Structures are given as structure tokens and as C-alpha cells.
């Protein structure tokens, strides 16, 4: 042993120490990581070997790679003072006026649009219905105000900050401001657009006229919306022929043969108001119409192209808005002389979130390279747009706003009578999912900033820290119309484009005690979703007891007569074939995934982007085949939609008919739904895909032939290629 070497005993001790330390450190790190990260990974569906990689990739993406910065909207100082707009039904065009049009609607060739190159596949007479009621809706550039309240500009720590105006002036921090109106592209210039109260058996034809090239108020169009001002209106989810469906698979190959109808053109969308297969059980109850222009659906919808289309069923007076007849669901109908009708105590609630420019957030995303809005100079900050709606495509995160609105107003209030109401909920957001509950609060709303919240926690602007559930919803309908039986729920999730109809009884609370005039109940969002990826907390997954964001304030008013009831049976479901599982080996399979492209994220299905002039091909099914997404008219089939992972959720929508979810995550849900998805027992047109989830849906392909689409209804995903074409063949 040399003089330099330590004694043998010391060497052994040092080696032992190092070895023990190495083993112990590794063990400790492993245990700590498992304890710290497993719950979070499980919540996001990433607790798996593949999920770990997705989680790490997502973290790196957020931290380093993708520049998707949301502004902090100015704080609305006096929420719940603006009244909730309750739309009146749009009046149809008088028949005499329609006959006076130079190009009136009709069944002949060249009578479907101003392009004179298409015809309606089925005219109402072919299904034994009368000629359609005609409406005209114009796409207009108009200003819109989200609130009348003063606002306080704040930063991401909730502190007062400076603000700007169109003339370039700078306002000191702490200055209360009035929001400038935002520019919208609206149906008839409003947001939301018109509401058409329709009825089965009475077809409707809507002539959509594009006048977006006109800007009579010289409004700044900013940097979103279709650059060519085109539109393509889709009635979600009408049983409609392709030429009236408003889908890009049709529009790019027929009709306009472009992404949308350009300014100066019009199109007649014919809605037969006829159930699929003529089956009474396929009747639905709440459609909405929105833009579907390829690559700019999200920006056009966000910019205002939203309209409402409740549809009633007069057969046996089942559900015709008269609570004295049929199912006697809440509603008092008033027929008007102009041919429309209104239904009191029937209130559509179109939820939407928006983001208002703070003047200092960089406007930057991949679309800047496409030269959509060269005059804006993007990427750039736009202080002149302070206080107006902010939008970027943000294909990685999906777009969410930090201000919540209902029917075009931020944080509105509604006085309700002491009786039952029927609310038709619609999620008109680009990507946000809501979970809604009815809560009371003695202290009332407090701003998230005053409660010390910062960054993403400021979203929603207000909290009711002492909020308590005080009433329940009785759900009577989902996307596919009336349920077979009502469901009593403490809360319900509302995914983008989904509809839920509920009855709320404002006469008494959960505990049975009666309400009194002046009482306040808040429609409250309890799902925290800081970006469009998925929720961070909800009732079914890591609930955050502090996250109670009031969206709409109900003020209890006087007692009113109520002849309504909620019957125990509503509308029976069309039966599933007893041997539906025989279709499983030959089902079509589609997997939704993300990939990096062009410096940003693209969303693909079966590894392919949307190809408007072709149909998709299934992944290999158990029978070893990869069939094309083509179905014969009159057929039924099973389609499987898989979430390819990565920690995103996807609301997946299929056009033209409703479906039944028969399997979820590999389990039969035809009789017993899985937790979190009670609506799987009903008919829907939008499948809610949890992280790594999958569904198998059974649906028909009836009555029409031609091209349709299926896509994610997170519109940021749809616009970045998460869509595929399919078709019905003769």
C-alpha cells in the first residue's frame, strides 16, 4: 500500500458510504417521484409507460417550444348587472316577399345557391312535407359590447396595470375604463345570432347571404376570422343533405368548390326537420348553427358566427312548447302573426369564453407565416386593440378565454319566476369544457385578484368562495334530443358543441325549503381548465373546492303559474340490434393524434391531415381490413374513435346523424354507463374522449348520399387538421 492511499478500513467505509448513498438516493427519488406525480398523471390519463413520455413531452413543449401566450383581460368591475339577452324567435320572410326575389328558392338545378350549380338532393315534397318556411340571414360586420360595466386593467398578478386606446394613448395603472366594442362577424350582425324556433314536419330554408365585404362602421377587423371573409354554415347536428350541411368535404368538391361562400354570394340551406329514417325516436330538440369554413372554423365561430335552432315536436303535441299538452315540459307558447312563435320559460344559454386584448401580449402563431393578415405586422403587440376580443389559433394548447359570457354578455343576470324553467345549454366555446352547478353564496362574488389568485387562476375573474350547491338540475335532453327518462344531477359537464337541456325548479332548494323573492342562485362553473388541453380539476377528477366561478346570476322573482311537469318517461331510444357486437370485427377505427409540423402542432387522424377531396381510411380492424370511410345509404355500422394520447381530451363530432355509444374504453356501456359519462345511455353527436379513451359508436347512414365530415370540436384542433372526410354512397 502506497503512502498516499488511505487505510483499508477507511476505503471500505468510503465505498460503503457511496454505494449506500447511490442506492438510497435512487430509491428516494423513485418513491418521491411516484408519490408526487402519479396522481397528476392518473388524472390526465397518463399513468402508463407511454403516458410518462407524453407528460414529459408536454412539459417540454409548454416550457420551451410553443409560444402561445394568453393576455389577461381587464377585470369587469360590476358583474351580474347586465341582463341576460333572451332571444326572440326570428321571423320568417313573408311568402310574398320570397316570391318577389329574383332567385327564389326551389328544387330545381341551380336553385340551391347564387352559384347556380347545385340542387337540393331532397325537396320537402319528397318526404311528404310542405314547402319550407323561408328565413334570410345575412353575415354582417358589426360592433358588439360584452359588458356595460367599467373595467380595471390588471396584469397576470392581478395588479392594476396600464392600458391603451385606438389613438395610442396610454392610461396609468388603476384607471377604470370602458371597454371599446369588439368587431364581430355575426348572423344578422348580432352575437349570438338569430334563434329559429323550428318544428318537426315544417321544413325550414335559410338563405345565408354573405355581406362581410361591407364595413359600414369602418370597424377594425383585426387579425382573425377567415381572411377572404368567406363562410360556410353548418346546422349542428341536423339530418341534412350535404349541400345544406355546411361541411368542407362538400364545399371543396362541389358547390362553391372552395373553402366557403365568398362575399356577394348566398346559399340556401334546406333543413327538412325530418328525423333520420322517418323514425320518431330519432327526433332531436336543440340544434345550433355555426360556421364551418375550412381552417378558420374556430376564428369565425369566435368572431360571432353562432345561431340557435331549438326544434319542437308537434306530433301528438309531445314537445311543442306548451306545458299543458303532451309531455307538459315547461314552456308557454305564443304564436305570432309573423309566423314565428316564442316559448316563455324556455331559455337558451349559449356559453362562451372570450379573451380581451391587454395591448401587451404578442400576437403570434403559425398563421403569421401564411400571410393571412399582412397589414397587422404580426408577430406584434397591438395596443390599439386593447379591450377588444383577442384570438390566436394556438393549435398546441387550444384557445380558452378568461372571461365567461352567456348569450353574448359577460356575467349577466336573469330574473326568474318562482316556477320551473327549461334551459337549453350550449357550449359555444372554441375549446373550453364547463362543469355547471347551481350554488348560493352569502358573500357574493369576489374577484379572483382580490383573493390573491394569479396567472391561470385569474380565469373566470370571479369566485364565490362560500358557494354551496343549493339546487339540482333535472336533465331531460342531450345532443340527440329528449332522453328516455329524466336524470337528476348535481352538476353536469358541457363539452364544446354539446347541448344539454335541463329543468330547474326555482320554487325550492335542495333541502326542500322554499325560495323567496330576492334570493340569488349562481350558475357556477366548477371545472378549472387553464388551457384547451384538458381540465385541471373537476368533480370527477381532483376537485378543487376553491374553484367556483359564477357565470350567470339568477334572481328569484315573483311566483308565476306553472302547469308543467317532468314526466318519468320522455322519448324512447331507437333499439340497438341484439347482435350489434357481430359488427365489431369489421368496424371502422379512427385514432386522433398530435404531431409537430411547421413549427407548431398539427392534429391528425390516422396519421393523416384533413384531405377535403377524399375519404379517410380506417386503421386495421380485427378482421384485418382497412376499409374506406364510405357507407352505403341505409346502412348501420360501428365506428371506433380512439384518443391517441398525450394528455388531451377531444370532443369528437360526427355529422348528419346521432349515434349510440355502445362501448367506452373497451367496456359495454349500453346498459350501465361509466362514471363521468352518464349520457352514454342517450343519443349524441359528439363523443367525449377522455385522455387515452376510446368509444365505439353505433349509428346509421340514412336518407342522403354524398360527402360529410367527422372532426374534433375543439376548433383549434379541427382547424389544424383533426378532421376526416367520409361519405354515403348509393
Partner 1 sequence: MTAVSRPPQAAMRSEVVQPRVYDGNLDVAWLTVLGLAASMAFADMFWVVSLRQVAGAIERTSDPFTDWVRESTLLLPTYVAAVLCVRVVRRRRTPSAAAGGTSRVGTALVLVGAGTLVGVLALAASSLYDYRLELALLGHTAHGSCVADCLDSQRTSTALLQLKSLGLGSALVLATNLVVVGWVAALLGGRLRLDRAGDPPRGHRRIGVHHRDGLTAVVVSALVGAAVLHAAVVPEHASEWLVAGAFFVALACVQAGAAGAVVHHGGRVSWTAAALVSAVPLAVWLWSRTVGLPWGPEAGAAEPLGVADLAAATLELATLVLVGSWARHRRHRLAGRPLLTVDTTLIALVALLAVTALGLGGSGLGWLDLTSGTGHVPG
Among 8, 64, 218, 545, binds partner 1 (CB under 8 A): 64
Q: Is 498 in the site for partner 1 (CB under 8 A)?
A: no
60 in contact with partner 1 (CB under 8 A): yes
CB of 228 to partner 1, least distance (A): 9
> Among 243, 319, 562, 602, which residue interacts with partner 1 (rule: CB under 8 A)?
602
Cell numbers at 36, concatenated: 408526487
Residue 595 sits in the site that holds partner 1 (CB under 8 A): yes
User: Residue 2, interface with partner 1 (CB under 8 A)?
Assistant: yes
Sequence-distant (≥ 6) Cβ neighbours of residue 65 within 8 angstroms: none
Please give the size of the binding site for partner 1, defined by CB under 8 A.
57
Is omega for the bond preceding 237 within 30 degrees of 0, making it cis?
yes
Please tell me whether residue 622 binds partner 1 under the rule CB under 8 A.
no
Shortest Cβ distance from residue 719 to partner 1 (Å)? 11
Task: Name the DSSP class of 121.
Answer: S
Piece in contact with partner 1 (CB under 8 A), picked from 380-388, 549-557, 589-597, 654-662: 589-597
Query: In angstroms, rounded to a whole number, what is the distance separating the alpha carbons of residues 591 and 608?
Result: 10
Work out how close the CB of 18 gets to partner 1 at its nearest, in angstroms, rounded to a whole number. Answer: 4
The only residue of 77, 451, 583, 597 in contact with partner 1, by rule CB under 8 A: 597
Of 202, 303, 593, 653, the one binding partner 1 (CB under 8 A) is 593
Query: Can you tell me the distance from the alpha carbon of 311 to that of 346, in angstroms, rounded to the nearest whole number?
Result: 12
Please give the Cα distance from 166 to 178 (Å, whole number).
13
Nearer to partner 1, 30 or 634 (CB): 30
Smallest distance, Å, CB 616 to partner 1? 11
Site string for partner 1, 323-362 (x = CB under 8 A): ----------------------------------------
Give me the sign of the Cα torsion angle 46, 52, 56, 58.
negative
720 is an interface residue for partner 1 by CB under 8 A: yes
Question: Residue 600, interface with partner 1 (CB under 8 A)?
Answer: yes
The one among 81, 131, 384, 611 contacting partner 1 by CB under 8 A: 611
The yes or no reply on residue 61 touching partner 1 (CB under 8 A) is yes
Name every residue whose Cβ is closer than 8 Å to that of residue 483 and which is 6 or more positions away in sequence. Answer: 475, 476, 477, 570, 571, 681, 682
Contact with partner 1 (CB under 8 A) among 56, 103, 488, 576: 56
- Minimum CB separation of residue 255 from partner 1 in Å reads 16
User: Does residue 259 bind partner 1 (CB under 8 A)?
Assistant: yes
Residue 609 is a binding residue for partner 1 (CB under 8 A): yes
Which residues face 659 on adjacent strands?
Answer: 684, 699
> 10 Å Cβ neighbour count for 519?
17
For 63-101, the DSSP string reads: III----PPPPPEESSTT-SBPP-PPBPPPPPHHHHHTS
Q: Does 370 bind partner 1 (CB under 8 A)?
A: yes
Task: Tell me the C-alpha distance between 504 and 476, whole Å.
Answer: 11
Q: Which of residues 239-258 bind partner 1 (CB under 8 A)?
A: 252
Question: Toward partner 1, which CB reaches closer, 239 or 594?
Answer: 594
CB 151 within 8 A of CB 163: no
Q: x/- string (CB under 8 A) for partner 1, residues 273-302?
A: ---------------------xx-------
Residue 220 neighbours by CB under 8 Å, 6+ apart: 166, 183, 384, 385, 388
Which one of residues 86, 344, 560, 619 is an interface residue with partner 1 (CB under 8 A)?
A: 619
Kindly state the cell numbers that stand for 442. 352569502
Extended strands (E) in 77-203: 133-144, 150-152, 163-164, 170-171, 177-178, 182-187, 198-199
Using the rule CB under 8 A, which residue among 10, 26, 109, 623 binds partner 1? 26
Cβ nearer to partner 1, comparing 207 with 234: 234
Using alpha carbons, select from 244, 271, 254 the residue that is nearest to residue 127.
271
Query: Scanning residues 631 to 690, which ones bind partner 1 (CB under 8 A)?
Result: 644, 646
Neighbours of 680 (CB within 10 A): 22
CB 437 within 8 A of CB 489: no
Q: Which of 278, 465, 572, 598: binder of partner 1 (CB under 8 A)?
A: 598
Among 3, 128, 168, 371, binds partner 1 (CB under 8 A): 371
CA distance 626 to 514: 60
Applying the rule CB under 8 A, the residues between 431 and 470 that interact with partner 1 are: none
Q: Considering only residues 37, 42, 47, 65, which one is a binding residue for partner 1 as defined by CB under 8 A?
A: 65
Written as one string, the DSSP assignment of 504-556 is: EETTB-TTSPBP-TT-EEEEEE--B-SSSS--SBBTTBS--TT--EEEEEEEE
CB proximity list for 673: less than 8 A, separation 6 or greater:
664, 679, 680, 681
Q: Is 369 in the site for partner 1 (CB under 8 A)?
A: yes
CA distance 400 to 382: 19
Contact flags string 538-577 toward partner 1, x per CB under 8 A: ----------------------------------------
Mark residue 721 as left, alpha or beta (left: phi above 0; alpha: psi -120 to 50; beta: remaining). left
406 or 589: whose CB is closer to partner 1? 589
Which residue in 28, 39, 50, 279 binds partner 1 (CB under 8 A)? 50
Is 373 a binding residue for partner 1 by CB under 8 A? The answer is no
Identify whether the C-beta of residue 348 lies closer than 8 Å to the C-beta of residue 308.
yes
Residue 66's contacts (CB-CB under 8 Å, 6 or more residues apart) are 396, 397, 600, 601
Closest contact distance (angstroms) between CB of 25 and partner 1 is: 8
Q: Name the minimum Å distance from CB 149 to partner 1.
A: 39
Which phi and psi (to 5°) does residue 693 adopt? Answer: -85, 170
Q: Is 607 in the site for partner 1 (CB under 8 A)?
A: yes
One residue of 185, 266, 312, 610 binding partner 1 per CB under 8 A: 610
Q: Rounded CA gap, 569 and 327, in Å?
A: 9
**Taking the mean position of all CA atoms in its chain, how far away is CA 472?**
23
**What does the binding site for partner 1 look like in residue numbers (CB under 8 A)?**
2, 4-5, 14-16, 18-19, 21-23, 25-26, 48-50, 52-54, 56-58, 60-61, 64-65, 252, 259, 294-295, 366, 369-371, 591, 593-600, 602, 604, 606-612, 619, 644, 646, 720-721
Amino acid at each position: 500500500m502506497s503512502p498516499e492511499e488511505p487505510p483499508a478500513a477507511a476505503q471500505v467505509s468510503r465505498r460503503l458510504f457511496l454505494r449506500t448513498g447511490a442506492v438510497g438516493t435512487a430509491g428516494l427519488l423513485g418513491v418521491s417521484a411516484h408519490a408526487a406525480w402519479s396522481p397528476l398523471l392518473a388524472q390526465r390519463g397518463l399513468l402508463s409507460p407511454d403516458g410518462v413520455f407524453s407528460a414529459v413531452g408536454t412539459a417540454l413543449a409548454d416550457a420551451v417550444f410553443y409560444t402561445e401566450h394568453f393576455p389577461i383581460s381587464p377585470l369587469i368591475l360590476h358583474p351580474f348587472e347586465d341582463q341576460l339577452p333572451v332571444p326572440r324567435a326570428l321571423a320568417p320572410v313573408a311568402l310574398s316577399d320570397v316570391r318577389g326575389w329574383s332567385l327564389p328558392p326551389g328544387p330545381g338545378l341551380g336553385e340551391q345557391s347564387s352559384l347556380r350549380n347545385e340542387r337540393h338532393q331532397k325537396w320537402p315534397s319528397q318526404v311528404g312535407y310542405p314547402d319550407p318556411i323561408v328565413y334570410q340571414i345575412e353575415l354582417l360586420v358589426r360592433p358588439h359590447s360584452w359588458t356595460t360595466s367599467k373595467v380595471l386593467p390588471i396584469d397576470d398578478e392581478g395588479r392594476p396595470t396600464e392600458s391603451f386606446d385606438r389613438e395610442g394613448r396610454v392610461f396609468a395603472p388603476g384607471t377604470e375604463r370602458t371597454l371599446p366594442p369588439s368587431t364581430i362577424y355575426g348572423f344578422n350582425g348580432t352575437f349570438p345570432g338569430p334563434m329559429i324556433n323550428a318544428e318537426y314536419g315544417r321544413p325550414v330554408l335559410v338563405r345565408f347571404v354573405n355581406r362581410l365585404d361591407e364595413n359600414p362602421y369602418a370597424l377594425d377587423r383585426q387579425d382573425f376570422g377567415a381572411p377572404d371573409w368567406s363562410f360556410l354554415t353548418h346546422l349542428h347536428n341536423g339530418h341534412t343533405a350535404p349541400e345544406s350541411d355546411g361541411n368542407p368535404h362538400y364545399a371543396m368538391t362541389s358547390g362553391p368548390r372552395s373553402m366557403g361562400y365568398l362575399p356577394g354570394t348566398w346559399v340556401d340551406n334546406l333543413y327538412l326537420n325530418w328525423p333520420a329514417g322517418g323514425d320518431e325516436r330519432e327526433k332531436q330538440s336543440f340544434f345550433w348553427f355555426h360556421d364551418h369554413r375550412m381552417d378558420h372554423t374556430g376564428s369565425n365561430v369566435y368572431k360571432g358566427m353562432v345561431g340557435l335552432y331549438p326544434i319542437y315536436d308537434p306530433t301528438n303535441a309531445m314537445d311543442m312548447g306548451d306545458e299543458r299538452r303532451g309531455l307538459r315540459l315547461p314552456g308557454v307558447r305564443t304564436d305570432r302573426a309573423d309566423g314565428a312563435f316564442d316559448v316563455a320559460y324556455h331559455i337558451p344559454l349559449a356559453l362562451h369564453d372570450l379573451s380581451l386584448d391587454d395591448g401587451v401580449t404578442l400576437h403570434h402563431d403559425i398563421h403569421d407565416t401564411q400571410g393571412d393578415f399582412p397589414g397587422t405586422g404580426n408577430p406584434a403587440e397591438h395596443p390599439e386593440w386593447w379591450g377588444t376580443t383577442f384570438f390566436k389559433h394556438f393549435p398546441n394548447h387550444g384557445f380558452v378565454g378568461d372571461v365567461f359570457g352567456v348569450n353574448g354578455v359577460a356575467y349577466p343576470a336573469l330574473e326568474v319566476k318562482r316556477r320551473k324553467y327549461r334551459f337549453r345549454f350550449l357550449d359555444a366555446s372554441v375549446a373550453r369544457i364547463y362543469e355547471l352547478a347551481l350554488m348560493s353564496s352569502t358573500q357574493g362574488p369576489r374577484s379572483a385578484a382580490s383573493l390573491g389568485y394569479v396567472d391561470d387562476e385569474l380565469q373566470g375573474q370571479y369566485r364565490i368562495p362560500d358557494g354551496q350547491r343549493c339546487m339540482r338540475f333535472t336533465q331531460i335532453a342531450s345532443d340527440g334530443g329528449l332522453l328516455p327518462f329524466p336524470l337528476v344531477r348535481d352538476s353536469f359537464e358541457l363539452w364544446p358543441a354539446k347541448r344539454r337541456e335541463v329543468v330547474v325548479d326555482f320554487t325550492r332548494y335542495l333541502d326542500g325549503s322554499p325560495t323567496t323573492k330576492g334570493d340569488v342562485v349562481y350558475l357556477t362553473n366548477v371545472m378549472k381548465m387553464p388551457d384547451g388541453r384538458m381540465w385541471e380539476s373537476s368533480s370527477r377528477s381532483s376537485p378543487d373546492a376553491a374553484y367556483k366561478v359564477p357565470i350567470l346570476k339568477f334572481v328569484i322573482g315573483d311566483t308565476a303559474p306553472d302547469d308543467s311537469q317532468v314526466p318519468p318517461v320522455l322519448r324512447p331510444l331507437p333499439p340497438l340490434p341484439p347482435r350489434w357486437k357481430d359488427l365489431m370485427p369489421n368496424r371502422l377505427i379512427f385514432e386522433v393524434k398530435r404531431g409537430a409540423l411547421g413549427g407548431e402542432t398539427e392534429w391528425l387522424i390516422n396519421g393523416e391531415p384533413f384531405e377535403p377531396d377524399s375519404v379517410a381510411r380506417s386503421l386495421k380492424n380485427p378482421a384485418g381490413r382497412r376499409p374506406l370511410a364510405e357507407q352505403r345509404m341505409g346502412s348501420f355500422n360501428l365506428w371506433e374513435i380512439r384518443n391517441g394520447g398525450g394528455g388531451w381530451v377531444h370532443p369528437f363530432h360526427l355529422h348528419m346523424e346521432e349515434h349510440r355509444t355502445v362501448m367506452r374504453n373497451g367496456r359495454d356501456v349500453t346498459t350501465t354507463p361509466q362514471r363521468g359519462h352518464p349520457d352514454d345511455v342517450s343519443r349524441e353527436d359528439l363523443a367525449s374522449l377522455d385522455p387515452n379513451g376510446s368509444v365505439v359508436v353505433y349509428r346509421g347512414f340514412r336518407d342522403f348520399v354524398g360527402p360529410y365530415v367527422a372532426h374534433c370540436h375543439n376548433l383549434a384542433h379541427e382547424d389544424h387538421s383533426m378532421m376526416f372526410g367520409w361519405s354515403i354512397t348509393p
